[in-house]
Chain A
Amino acid sequence: GQQLNQSPQSMFIQEGEDVSMNCTSSSIFNTWLWYKQDPGEGPVLLIALYKAGELTSNGRLTAQFGITRKDSFLNISASIPSDVGIYFCAGLKSSSNTGKLIFGQGTTLQVKP
């Protein structure tokens, strides 16, 4: 089963507001990935994080790899209607070359124009 706790489960915000979501785990991960999934589509990679403490931006999106390597955060600034979708965090344990990606349960974002 899944090992990542993602919160909040859903968010309903006004256009222009900032959004924050996070992912926590009892296990250490070597890589954190954030994906967005639109209805009827596969997950699309937003940001990849490879080092503890790393802070990476992609346009209005900013994500951080937690110092403990057990958590990660995604922030969206000045939300717009096209930000609507489901956001998934995913952690990768590279030890023993397993390459197994573990996903959170997802955060459903709705933006009111």
Chain B
Amino acid sequence: KAGVTQTPRYLIKTRGQQVTLSCSPISGHRSVSWYQQTPGQGLQFLFEYFSETQRNKGNFPGRFSGRQFSNSRSEMNVSTLELGDSALYLCASSPLTGQSPLHFGNGTRLTVT
């Protein structure tokens, strides 16, 4: 069974631009969560989607948004990029919302210059 797939692996953007990250969960998994990982803050929860609905949201500004499609694939969008948005963005899937453990993808490394 294929694992969680995130694309692209690396991304370099300029301040003010926007970016879209993609995540394909493990087949059969309907819950997708997004996390931001930085050296100082660790993994910070962004949001969780289940059956195309956002179930939970972390404490991030409205510039961070996401969506989930009917095939459970998910996208995350960050608008008006800031230097502080440079981080590793991790996607994780699980069969049902609130179920564990989470299965993580290898992440997208975003660098904002």
- A and B pair up: no
Q: Using a CB–CB distance below 8 Å, which chain B residues touch chain A?
A: none
Q: Using a CB–CB distance below 8 Å, which chain A residues touch chain B?
A: none
